[in-house]
């Protein structure tokens, strides 16, 4: 299943107030309850998704690990992204995000793979605008084997921090949605 979504930049890490749980907490709870493991491949976010997940007590029950493959050759060599795909489309592409998620899932022997790639800016490389990002989830979750979202974060000129935060948040949201988001019902979910 493939979908497009436009999101504005989200500033800073997801915060929680009294009685609220972060999206990362919901993700870890859903994975743990389902007995699933997760591996994460990050380019654009540079480890921010893993940081959000590792910050959740009990994350080790579900999180296998991750790879920050910022350089294109690492996407190819570590994650197994096809060299022809990278040559034809470049590293900022939905199909590349999907291949990254599959690659890290295989590499870490995880049930679910999550990947981020995009352009943080400020200067766009080639024809890709600053703020373009792609997030993919693979593995059999929520009855769908694949989900990919393309988003251009914000309008105008978002900062690098805005784009990276939006990508992190979009990745966690997409993963929670793919998992069925069943943890949402019990406690308030803060998306700020």
Task: State the pLDDT confidence band at 155, using cuts at 50, 70 and 90.
Answer: low
Rounded to whole angstroms, the Cα distance separating 59 from 10 reads 24
Phi-psi category of residue 54: left, alpha or beta, with phi > 0 → left and psi -120 to 50 → alpha: alpha
Task: State the pLDDT confidence band at 168, using cuts at 50, 70 and 90.
Answer: very high
Tokens representing 185? 């019902």
Q: CB-hemisphere CA count at 13 Å for 139?
A: 26
Q: What is the mean pLDDT of residues 5-20?
A: 39
pTM: 0.81
Domains of the chain: 2-7+22-181 (3.90.950.20)
């Amino acid at each position: 299943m493939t979908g497009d979504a436009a999101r504005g930049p989200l500033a800073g890490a997801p915060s929680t107030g009294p009685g609220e749980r972060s999206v990362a907490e919901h993700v870890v709870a859903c994975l743990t309850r389902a007995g699933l493991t997760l591996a994460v491949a990050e380019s654009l976010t540079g480890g921010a998704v893993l940081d959000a997940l590792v910050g959740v007590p009990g994350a080790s029950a579900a999180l296998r690990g991750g790879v920050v493959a910022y350089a294109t050759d690492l996407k190819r060599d570590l994650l197994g992204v096809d060299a022809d795909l990278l040559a034809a489309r470049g590293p900022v592409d939905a199909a590349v995000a999907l291949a990254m998620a599959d690659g890290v899932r295989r590499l870490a022997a995880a049930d679910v793979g999550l990947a981020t790639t995009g352009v943080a800016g400020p200067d766009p490389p080639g024809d890709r605008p600053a703020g373009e990002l792609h997030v993919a989830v693979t593995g059999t979750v929520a009855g769908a084997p694949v989900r990919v979202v393309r988003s251009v974060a914000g309008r105008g000129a978002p900062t690098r921090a805005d784009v990276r935060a939006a990508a992190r948040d979009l990745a966690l949201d997409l993963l929670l949605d793919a998992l069925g988001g069943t943890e949402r019902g019990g406690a308030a979910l803060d998306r700020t």
